[in-house]
Structure 1
Amino acid sequence: RMDQALLLVRNELPAPGLNLAALSGSCHQCLYQFLAFVPPSNESLRKPGTASVMVDTQHPLTLLLNSSVGDRDLCKIQYHFGEFGNYSLVVKTLSRSTQTVSCDLIINEGPINSYLPILFAFLVYMGILAILTAGRLLMKIDPVRNWVYKKLNPRATDRMINSELGSPNTTDSINSDPIPQSWSTGSRQRLRSLDTFRGISLVIMVFVNYGGGKYWFFKHESWNGLTVADLVFPWFVFIMGTSIALALGSMLRWGSSKWKVLRKILWRSFVLILLGIIVVNPNYCLGPLSWDNLRIPGVLQRLGFTYLVVAALELLFTRADSGTWEGRFPALQDILPYWPQWIFILVLETIWLCLTFLLPVPDCPRGYLGPGGIGDFGKYPNCTGGAAGYIDRLLLGEKHMYQHPSSGVTYQSTIPYDPEGILGTINSIVMAFLGLQAGKITLFYKDQPKQIMSRFVIWGIVMGIISAILTKCSKEEGFIPINKNLWSISYVTTMSCFAFILLLLIYYLVDVKKWWSGAPFLYPGMNSILVYIGHQVFANYFPFKWKMQDTQSHAEHLAQNLTATTLWVIISYILYRRRIFWKI
């Protein structure tokens, strides 16, 4: 099967037989898991005992062979098996007098290179990019452009070229946008870098939600650590906070009262939460919507609640005039005027820390941050997530939580755990608030791109230093490890560090130098709600999914997932060209 190899164990030792166990390199402080009993050799027939097992190829394995009687360890082998490989492990005696045992791993049939489809896909997309870039360069040559004008409608062509450099006006939306992004007081021009950043996050999110070619690094990390899939949701939350800063100031400058803006905030939050619970969240393949097993938390629910808190907090202290602050420390003009906001955020974080490390959880050590199951040598099998999991089970009930957490495969945890649970929402608010800070920087230094970029760098460095301290630059041994399931504070600071640096690069390329238009990520970034809900609702429909000839092929899964993701980019481009933008 996919991500597996065949291992044949040949036991040339006499009775009593061997036990084969394995430990995955991705499983921290885990118990060895029994794989097979290998019978002893038949000395009269000179026939070794054999056993065949399937072993995981995603991560390095440690194989342990011990005697079935007395539990004496005979040999331990660390090896990273290759997908669809065929291996033999020969166990024999080198010296009967000293009872020295050798364990030799032999490759019977070499594995395939399961990463070649990724390389091929990369080359295909780079080829498409090269063709499009060459086409745009050719259009700058007068004879070529004139020839194209003759073949096409000149007005339509001119309108097409101009629209590529233009930005939609909020009046072109299907619905009014409660958070239109503005760049200056006198202009409604959008910061294309924000839409591009949002689009990058969304495209990666769609791809990993569709399966990511079934590669392990396009899935969420089982517990501590990061994969590609763990990057996108906090980035989306971050850029939502950035948009809030730009939007609220814009609406107030254009004459909207705070009460009117608050009603829009409440309405948008309500709709996001409702869409998450009713449209996106349920699995209708299991039957009609039922409260008995309805999952209450979710991605849109967390976005809606986070938006409500951060937008209301900003509305309470924002000013219609975002001019220069006259104070003792002008270099901190994007921070000091909003000290009550910072106190609120620090209080929230203190609550998270107190609940996480001080709340008593039945049958679990206080301050436990582990995955439960076979982790921590199997001492706390029902403590998945510590206080975070306990609060969700207590307030929501196990049937209203996510039933298949990422820790279930590697750590074999059996109790439900929701990565979008109640306690983690506190830190998603902190993440959005840091994004809000990025928005304030662009407002206070709107005519000073060097100041904007330098402050993005400073914030990125500060967040990186905090992460290094909290994690001790270690995946597992830090004070607070990076953990997407828990939305730990180190996860938030690390993702904020990446977000500030990524936004800096995109801002420099798109809005400062204008070397890049932001395409194609700009288009889904400007229709993010439609693309997110659409990709969830139509995930199991053609042409986003079809019956595969070989379901155990990374290549087929990758082709299907990339096709589905590309289709959503194309759909968002068509909507962009037609100036259709669905906003809540």
Structure 2
Amino acid sequence: MADPGKMEEGLAHEENMEKKGDKLVEQQQQLQEQQQPLVKQKTKRVATLDAFRGLTIVLMILVDDAGGSYARIDHSPWNGCTLADFVMPFFLFIVGVAIALALKKIPKIKDAIKKICLRTLKLLFWGVLLQGGYSHAPNDLVYGVDMKLIRWCGILQRIALVYFIVAVIETLTTKRRPTVLEPGYSSIFTAYRWQWLGGFVAFVIYMTTTYSLYVPDWSFVVSTDSETTQYTVKCGMRGHLGPACNAVGYVDREVWGINHLYMYPVWQRLKACTHSSPSSGQIREDAPSWCRAPFEPEGLLSSILAILSGTIGIHYGHVLIHFKGHSERLKQWVSMALGLLIVAIILHFTDAIPINKQLYSFSYVCFTAGAAGIVFSAFYILIDVWGWRTPFLFLEWIGMNAMLIYVLGAQGILPAFVNGWYYKSTNNTLVFWIQKHVFNNVWHSERLGTLLYVIFAEITFYGVLSGILHKFGIYWKL
């Protein structure tokens, strides 16, 4: 018969061995979990933001391709604001909102900075490639640019600058962010005071330079096949906000060189420059010399103030993060939007600071940011509050693939590809045939036909294309 004491010792020994085995298994599991790569969780997309981004892309295609037929929706020749003038600040507003959501949690600041720098470089590369003069899409089937005339600034370059500054400030101040806001309407502003400080610095730099920088006389050369003519613009002043002698243009001429600026500024549609105003037309013989000069609408000084557009956008993103109720969010958004609109209207109609896209004036920033806030709030009500998501799905799809549609549609790369397959003549392509026979001839109007072609052929096509790509999970992300 076995000794009961030894049996108890044996059982105790087995229990100890089992416990040690369990601990060993747990340690191995923990070690395996540590060694496994962290799987990046898919972030939930904000349908309102995607729809707003899609709308902005649609507006860009509309004004770029139909603006020549309808001058009232094309860029304002100087002071004032048209439909086309909302596109750029809407993009910057959206960039700000997206930064707040994307950088809500930053595990490693150094890695985040690297990603921001890489994305900025990608934007700069595509900006120079698409708008630097290398691409002549969609009508001219040629490519290449004289480096003496390359355009350094553009839409994506401005977005890159704003994105870099706003994202870096957001990243470096991550440890100063509050988890819970203090009571009060202004708590969201004080909690993110460093972001607003960055916007204020941009404002001070712009205003100080614009109104205090001395602009001397300047000259430029216009070359044709038959002759070369030099023109001189008389300035010698400070604080001028007209086309000829503003500090915005002077800074770009000094930094980039006059040959690297946009060669067809919209001020050529002013009455002083053409009898066809507000449409494009031949420059008058008695037009001032500056009518023939280049000017950069996405220049350096104006892009500095554009940082403020991104700052306002990131504020809307912060509100979305910290306020959970619909009414609380809308109260913050709408009140700020209305305040910005009121400031802009007062500045413009008192002639203190006219609304001007070419100069990217402070009143223009306020007016367009206020409009962006209203549109964003309207989308939020329709999609998130009322649940009307289906009617705006095509905008969401375009917004999810905004970069791809921008390149294919707004920059004319896809039409250029189609135009490359012509029959006998470069004007005899599928694109021209559809526009002429399906739209212009049917409606007996080139203007109306162009508008309908852009809406029902181009925009509809890109909406369907975006939907198909979304179905297969294909996106172009920088």
Corresponding residue number in structure 1 for 2:149: 293
How does 1:30-69 map onto structure 2 within 5 Å?
A: none
Question: Offset at 1:352?
Answer: 0.5
Deviations 1:506-535, CA, capped at 9 Å, x for gaps: 111111221233322111111111111122
> Are 1:261 and 2:112 an aligned pair?
yes
Residue identity opposite 1:399 in structure 2: N
Alpha-carbon distance, 1:321 to partner: 7.1
* Match of residue 561, structure 1, among 451, 454, 475: 454
Residue aligning to 1:307? 163
Post-superposition Cα deviations, 1:234-292, rounded to whole Å, max 9, x if no partner, equal 11110110010011014x2xxx3111111111000100010010234324446523311
TM-score (ref. length: structure 2): 0.75
**2:178·2:191 contact (CA, 8 Å) conserved in 1?**
no
Match of 2:315 in 1: 437
Instruction: Tell me the CA shift for residue 368 of structure 1.
Output: 0.8
Paired residue for 2:8? none
How do 1:21-170 and structure 2 match up within 5 A? none
1:409 aligns with 2:269: yes
CA distance in 1, matches of 2:385, 2:402: 24
The one of 346, 370, 378 equivalent to 1:497 is: 370
Out of 416, 421, 426, the position equivalent to 1:540 is 416
The letter for the 2-side match of 1:569 is: G
- Residue identity in the other structure for 2:86: L
Q: Which residue of 2 aligns with 1:484?
A: 357
Counterpart pick for 2:99 among 244, 248, 272: 244
Contact in 2 for aligned 1:545/1:560 (Cα 8 Å): no
- Structure 1, residues 337-362: CA drift from partner, whole Å, max 9, x if none? 22233223212211111111110001
SS at match of 2:97: helix
**How high is the TM-score relative to the length of structure 1?**
0.61
Paired residue for 2:338?
Answer: 461
For 1:279 and 1:501, locate their aligned partners in 2 and report how far apart those are by CA, in whole Å.
Answer: 31
Q: Give the letter aligned to residue 461 of structure 1.
A: L
1:424 counterpart letter in structure 2: S
> Is 1:197 the counterpart of 2:52 in the alignment?
yes
Q: Deviations over 1:106-141 (max 9, x none)?
A: xxxxxxxxxxxxxxxxxxxxxxxxxxxxxxxxxxxx
SS at 1:546 equivalent: helix
The equivalent position to 2:79 in structure 1, one of 214, 221, 224, is 224
Which residue number in structure 2 is paired with residue 150 of structure 1?
none
Q: C-alpha separation between the residues in 2 aligned to 1:331 and 1:187?
A: 32
Partner of 1:523: 397
1:358 alignment partner AA: S
For residue 566 of structure 1, report the CA deviation from its aligned partner: 1.9
Amino acid at match of 1:556: G
**Mean Cα deviation higher: 478-487 or 547-556:** 547-556
Alpha-carbon distance change, 575 to 278 in structure 1, aligned in 2, over 3 angstroms = same
Quick one: which amino acid aligns to residue 557 of structure 1? T
Name structure 1 gaps, 5 residues minimum: 1-179, 181-185, 373-382
Structure 1 residues 458 and 305: alpha-carbon distance in aligned structure 2, compared to 1, 3 A threshold: same
Consecutive unaligned residues of structure 2, counting only runs of 5 or more, are 1-39, 217-233, 274-290, 420-429
Tell me by how many angstroms 1:320 deviates: 9.3
What is the letter of the counterpart of residue 466 of structure 1?
A: V
The 5-angstrom pairing of residues 339-358 of structure 1 reads 339-358=193-212
**Deviation digits for residues 336-392 of structure 1 (CA, Å, limit 9, x no counterpart):** 1222332232122111111111100014231111123xxxxxxxxxx3xx1001111
Q: Is the 8 A contact 2:195 2:311 kept in 1?
A: no
Question: How far apart in 2 are the matches of 1:388 and 1:539?
Answer: 34
Kept in 2, the 8 Å contact 1:213–1:559? The answer is: no
CA–CA distance in structure 1, aligned partners of residues 199 and 65 of structure 2: 35
Normalized per residue, which structure has more strand?
1
* CA distance in structure 2 between the aligned counterparts of 1:504 and 1:230, rounded to whole angstroms: 20
Q: Select 2:306's aligned residue among 428, 431, 440.
A: 428
CA RMSD between the two structures: 2.2
Hey, what's the Cα distance between the residues in 2 that align with 1:262 and 1:439?
Answer: 20
**Counterpart in the other structure of 2:24:** none
Q: Kindly tell me: are residues 367 and 290 of structure 1, through their superposed partners in 2, closer, same or farther at Cα, counting changes over 3 Å? A: same
Preserved CA contact (<8 Å) 1:402 1:416: yes
CA distance, structure 2, for counterparts of residue 503 and residue 236 of structure 1: 12
Which of the pair is proportionally richer in helix?
2
Contact 2:89/2:365 (CA < 8 Å) preserved in 1? Answer: yes
* Inter-partner Cα distance in structure 1 for 2:357 and 2:45: 31
The residue type paired with residue 209 of structure 2 is: L
Alignment partners' CA distance in 2, 1:206 and 1:499? 18
1:74-114 per-position Cα deviation (integer Å, ceiling 9, x unaligned): xxxxxxxxxxxxxxxxxxxxxxxxxxxxxxxxxxxxxxxxx
Amino acid corresponding to residue 526 of structure 1 in structure 2: M
In structure 2, distance between residues paired with 1:208 and 1:450: 34
Query: 3-state SS of the aligned residue for 1:296?
Result: coil
Contact 1:213 1:558 in 2 (8 A): no
1:569 to partner: Cα distance = 1.4
User: Given the superposition, is the C-alpha separation of residues 236 and 287 from structure 1 closer, same or farther in structure 2, using an over 3 Å criterion?
Assistant: closer
**Counterpart amino acid of residue 553 in structure 1:** E
**2:215 corresponds to which residue?**
361
Which AA in structure 1 matches 2:214?
Answer: P
1:453–1:504: 8 Å Cα contact kept in structure 2? yes
Distance in 2, Cα, partners of 1:187 & 1:482: 41
**366, 375, 392: which one pairs with 2:252?**
392
- Native 8 Å contact 1:249 1:320 kept in 2: no
Q: How far, CA to CA, are the matches of 2:178 and 2:44 in structure 1?
A: 17
Shift of 1:226: 1.1
1:573 aligns with 2:448: no
CA shift, 1:189, in A, is 2.3
Partners in 1 of 2:374 and 2:469 — Cα distance?
30
Give the Cα–Cα distance (whole angstroms) in 1 for the partners of residues 67 and 447 of structure 2: 9
Q: Quick one: distance in 2 between partners of 1:279 and 1:201? A: 19
The 1:534–1:325 alpha-carbon spacing in structure 2 relative to 1, beyond 3 Å, is: same
User: Separation in 1 of the partners of 2:452 and 2:374?
Assistant: 31
Whichever residue aligns with residue 325 of structure 2, its letter is: Q
Tell me the amino acid that sits aligned with residue 211 of structure 1: A
Corresponding pairs, count: 377
1:334 maps to 2:228: no
- 1:578 and 1:320 map into 2 onto residues whose CA distance is 40
Kindly indicate whether structure 1 or structure 2 has the higher relative contact order, using CA contacts under 8 Å at least 6 residues apart: 2
